[in-house]
Chain A
Amino acid sequence: MVESIYGEYKEKLQLILDNIVGRLSENNDEQYKKTGDKLYEHLIARVKSDESMREKCERRGLEANAYNALHELTDSIGIRIVCSFIDDVYENVRLIKSLPNIEVVVEKDYIKHAKPNGYRSYHMIIKVTAPFPDVCGNDPGEYFVEIQLRTIAMDSWASLEHKMKYKKNIAESELIVAELKRCADELAACDVSMQTIRNLIKYS
């Protein structure tokens, strides 16, 4: 059997992932009990598969080893949090920042600053301190986690756009790209209107 690209750290990644997801879903349950509203609709979490990680190293011109996979690249652990409303996205961001043993490394607000193709999401790369060593020899160790936060509408748009991007030679692709952009703006309009209505109900 070929050894994992993550080497001896492979199990640790799953431990870190479980720990963060545990803390997030605790928050969510607590909020639900308190207010009847969930902080997020659902989340998906994964340790990047060996195969995709090797592929990514190759794409980036990096040797496929544990150091590059865990230190040069930051998405060995990935979490996607999907929310019902825009404000919930920001509330989750706030909560993540307040978690102990976490440091935000990169933060990009593609909701406020949508990409030209219409893509909207909130991206964070965080560094988690763990009670075991990391690939650089630090103990306690530091591990990267990439988090994407978005609304349900942004999420379905992103999955459609993903299909478009990875399928080559689509007929009339220019038109489809333009229509996808229009859809992104319409979905954003709905997200914003729903948030506004929610606030009107809440504060009236």
Chain B
Amino acid sequence: MKLLLAEDEKDLSKALTAVLTHTGYSVDAAFDGVEALEFLEKNDYDAIIMDIMMPRMDGIEALKKIRESGDFTPVLLLTAKAEIDDRVTGLDAGADDYLTKPFAIKELIARVNSMTRRNDSYAPKNLRVGSVTLDTEKQEVTSENSISLAQKETKLLEYFMINPGKELTTERIFEHVWKGDEGVSHDVVWMYVSFVRSKLQAINADIEITGERNGSYSLTLI
């Protein structure tokens, strides 16, 4: 599981990174809102922990930009202010949870665990990239024609469409789509990428999945 931590206090960032890494997360640390957005442009995360008070761009503004871009990664806001209005603004801007400083590390970890567990419900039912629409409920992808998808194909394409243009490694994809499935090897990723590729071709899609077997894949416009 991958986290993005946006926190401008160097010591706190260092401490949180250490604890979260120890818990089993891999953590990218950004030190202001602009940097956080730069990280998000390149990578995908299972959750974002973000301080409200940051230089260059504060957490609320960064969060608004994240949501505007169609990114529904769960966000936990950290706030030094205990004002009710700040929490409301944060939640209204699209945060999923908040924690008031000072907080217990134990509680932060519990909240992050809880957010990443529910990950699925955040994605919208219909996704669109280029000329392609994915209906995750009907498990159907449409461009010029439409074609049905198997459950895992839907999940895989959904993951790509939430993260267009980003490099997604075989490991990340496996973790996201086949998390918790027993007796499945990483080879399944290549096979399902092949399935989804042919289905995108079959509907004359203007997007494609690029990348080589066992490497990183990326959803790009043709």
A residues lining the B interface (CB < 8 Å):
111-114, 182, 185-186, 188-189, 192-193, 195-196, 199-200
Nearest opposing residue in chain A for B202, CB measure: A192
A193 to B140, CA, bound (A): 14
Q: Which residues of B contact A113 (CB under 8 A)?
A: 144-145, 204
Nearest opposing residue in chain A for B140, CB measure: A185
Identify which of A188, A199, A200 contacts B147 (C-beta below 8 A).
A188
Identify which of A114, A185, A195, A199 contacts B148 (C-beta below 8 A).
A185
Contact status B144-A200, CB under 8 Å: no
Q: Which residues of A contact B204 (CB under 8 A)?
A: 112-113
Contact status B198-A195, CB under 8 Å: yes
Query: Chain B, 169-209, contact with A by CB distance < 8 Å: what is the 0/1 string?
Result: 00000000000000000000001001101110010100000
Identify which of A112, A182, A200 contacts B191 (C-beta below 8 A).
A200
Identify which of A186, A188, A195 contacts B145 (C-beta below 8 A).
A188
Q: Which residues of A contact B136 (CB under 8 A)?
A: none
**Smallest distance from the beta carbon of A174 to chain B beta carbons, Å?**
18
Contacts A113-B204, A192-B202 hold; do A185 and B195 have CB atoms under 8 A apart?
A: no
Interface size for B (C-beta < 8 A) is 16
B218 on the A face (CB < 8 A): no
Contact status A189-B191, CB under 8 Å: no
**Smallest distance from the beta carbon of A118 to chain B beta carbons, Å?**
8
Contact status B147-A189, CB under 8 Å: yes
B residues lining the A interface (CB < 8 Å):
140, 144-150, 191, 194-195, 197-199, 202, 204
A–B complex contacts, Cβ < 8 Å, 28 sampled: A112-B202, A112-B204, A113-B204, A114-B144, A182-B148, A185-B140, A185-B145, A185-B146, A185-B148, A186-B148, A188-B145, A188-B147, A188-B148, A188-B202, A189-B147, A189-B148, A189-B150, A189-B199, A192-B147, A192-B198, A192-B202, A193-B150, A193-B195, A193-B198, A193-B199, A196-B194, A196-B197, A200-B194
**Smallest distance from the beta carbon of A131 to chain B beta carbons, Å?**
42
Q: Which residues of A contact B197 (CB under 8 A)?
A: 196
A81 to B146, CA, bound (A): 24
A192 to B148, CA, bound (A): 10
Those 8 A-B pairs whose CB atoms lie nearest each other, nearest first: A114-B145, A189-B148, A186-B148, A196-B198, A192-B198, A192-B202, A185-B148, A188-B147
Q: Which residues of A contact B146 (CB under 8 A)?
A: 185
Contact status B147-A185, CB under 8 Å: yes
A114 to B148, CA, bound (A): 14
A4 to B202, CA, bound (A): 44
Identify which of A112, A182, A192, A199 contacts B199 (C-beta below 8 A).
A192
**Smallest distance from the beta carbon of A189 to chain B beta carbons, Å?**
4
